[in-house]
Structures are given as structure tokens and as C-alpha cells.
Amino acid sequence: MMYFKSYFSTISTTRFNLHLDKISKFIGGSLLFFSFSSLSATPEQIQHIQAAAEQYIIDNVEQPIGGSLEAQAANIDSRVFATDCPSELTVSSKSTKSTASNITVLVECVPDNWRLYLPVRLTRTGPQVSLIGPLNRGQIITAQDVTTSMVDLQRLRRQGFSTINAVIGAKVKKNLRAGEIIEQRDICVVCRNDVVTIKAVKSGMTITTKGVALSDGSHGEQIKVKNSKSSRIIDGKVTDISEVTVIF
């Protein structure tokens, strides 16, 4: 008789312990869910973080001349931890290169000890000089040959020109199609073997002489020229059509 009482008592205790274990797991899971939900970022907090990252890009990345810069932060998982930061969010990045397509921005709340790395996509739009009609190699570009159009600068493979004056009078180095964007490698303001004017500037005084260009060059580029009188080879900056300036 005592054996049966002990047996049934053991079974009841075991069932009670299993039932208690299930209840504990349920309560623990509920508390975990409640805790996780209460610490997850709200839609307003996520928007605030994204806006801070985007504004950082707008304020710190160089704007294209005559164009615009747009920044779009990546989506943020709503389960990420965040708070209503009691102070202004701290935003920084290791890079602010204007030619980058994406820049990773660090957004952090120092008082509440949380941080988030957020990729931001850049879209740079700016004017670029393009051809109205086709031009053949060796032709000189006139104002009637070109126009400007707004393009996505991130898609340009090489450096172009943002103003028409930068290409007027330049010589085309290869055949170009109508509508094609003119790249720096396509033209030369001073071309190899051209006779150029060398302007030597020193202490406010300017002396001019003639020379021969030994390489192609566009506005602002350094090229080598040979002084026709002294046969001396010097480095000068292309400052105009058939003109090279040397500053001593």
C-alpha cells in the first residue's frame, strides 16, 4: 500500500514539475519578447537616424559645380536597438569622397551607448558638355558644336567638362558621335607639335616667347614645351588655346 502511494506521489510530482517548467518557459519567452520589443527602434527613431546620416553627406561631401547632390540612407531593420537620444546624434565617416557611390556613416548616441553603421547612396547630378553633331579628328570645336546637359556624374567613366568655354577652340583627337559627352582625353587645347605662346611670369612681370608643345594638354594641365629660341625644355601649365604659362 505504501508502495502505491509513493508511486502515485512520484508521478504527481513529475507532472507538476513538467507543468511548472512549461509555465516558466512561457513566462520567460513572454518576458524576452516584451524586452526585445521594448528595446527595438521605433519608426520615428529609424527615420531620425536615416535623416542624420543623409544630412551628414549633404554637409560634408563636395557638391558638383552647377549640379546637385542627393543622399539616400539604406533601410534599417526595425529590430535594431535605439533610443530617443537625450543629446544630438553624433555622425561621422572615414570617407567623404565625392566620387564614391556609397559611403558608410557612423551614427551614435553617446549618452545611451549605442551606435549604428549605415550605408548611404550618393547621386551626383551635374552639367556636362556634349556634342550637338558629330565631329571628326582634327576639327576645332566651336560654340555651335556643343551644348550642356544634366547627367548622373557617378556613371561617367572619365573626367568631362562642366562649361562650354572649357572646350571652345580645342582640337578633337578622335572621331566623336552626336550626343557624346566630351571627355578630357578626347580633345587638346594645346596639342603635341603645336606652336604655342610661352608666357613667363615672375614678380608681376610677363615675358612672352614662342615654343613647341611636346605633349597634348587641356586647361590647367602641365605639359612640356620647348623654347624655340633657347631650345630649353620647360614645364608649363595650359592656360588658353595655344598658350602655356610658366611661373618662376
Domain for residue 31, yes or no?
A: no
Report d(CA 161, CA 85) in Å as an integer. 45
Residues in the chain, total? 248
For residue range 48-97, what is the model confidence (pLDDT) as tens digits? 999 999 999 999 999 988 899 999 999 999 899 999 999 999 999 998 98
Domain for residue 19, yes or no?
A: no
Model confidence, pTM: 0.61
Phi and psi, residue 35, nearest 5°: -65, -45
Domain that holds residue 238: 195-247
Beta bridge mates, 24: none
Is 230 found in the same domain as 200?
A: yes
For residue range 185-219, what is the model confidence (pLDDT) as tens digits? 899 989 899 899 999 888 888 889 999 999 998 88
How much is the pLDDT for 34? 34
How much is the pLDDT for 198? 92
Report d(CA 191, CA 170) in Å as an integer. 9
Beta bridge mates, 116: 107
Instruction: Give alpha helix (H) positions in the chain.
Output: 2-39, 43-60
CB atoms within 10 A of CB 233: 12
Beta bridge mates, 194: none
Contacts 24+ apart (CB under 8 A), 191-194: 191/216, 192/216, 194/242
Query: At 143, which CATH number?
Result: 3.90.1210.10
Strand 195-202 relative to strand 243-247, pairing: parallel
How much is the pLDDT for 39? 65
Beta bridge mates, 103: 120
For residue 165, which of 186, 189, 185 has the smallest C-alpha distance? 189
Is 47 found in the same domain as 112?
A: yes
Domain for residue 30, yes or no?
A: no
For residue range 119-166, what is the model confidence (pLDDT) as tens digits? 999 999 999 999 999 999 999 999 999 999 899 888 877 788 888 988
How much is the pLDDT for 89? 96
Is 174 found in the same domain as 134?
A: yes
Domain for residue 9, yes or no?
A: no
Tell which of 124, 145, 169 closes a domain.
124
Domain for residue 241, yes or no?
A: yes
State the total domains in the chain: 3
Is 132 found in the same domain as 105?
A: no
Domain for residue 238, yes or no?
A: yes
Query: pLDDT category, 15, cuts 50, 70, 90?
Result: low
Domain for residue 218, yes or no?
A: yes
User: Are residues 208 and 199 in contact, defined by beta-carbon separation less than 8 angstroms?
Assistant: yes
Is 132 found in the same domain as 71?
A: no
Mean pLDDT of 11-37: 41
Domain for residue 38, yes or no?
A: no
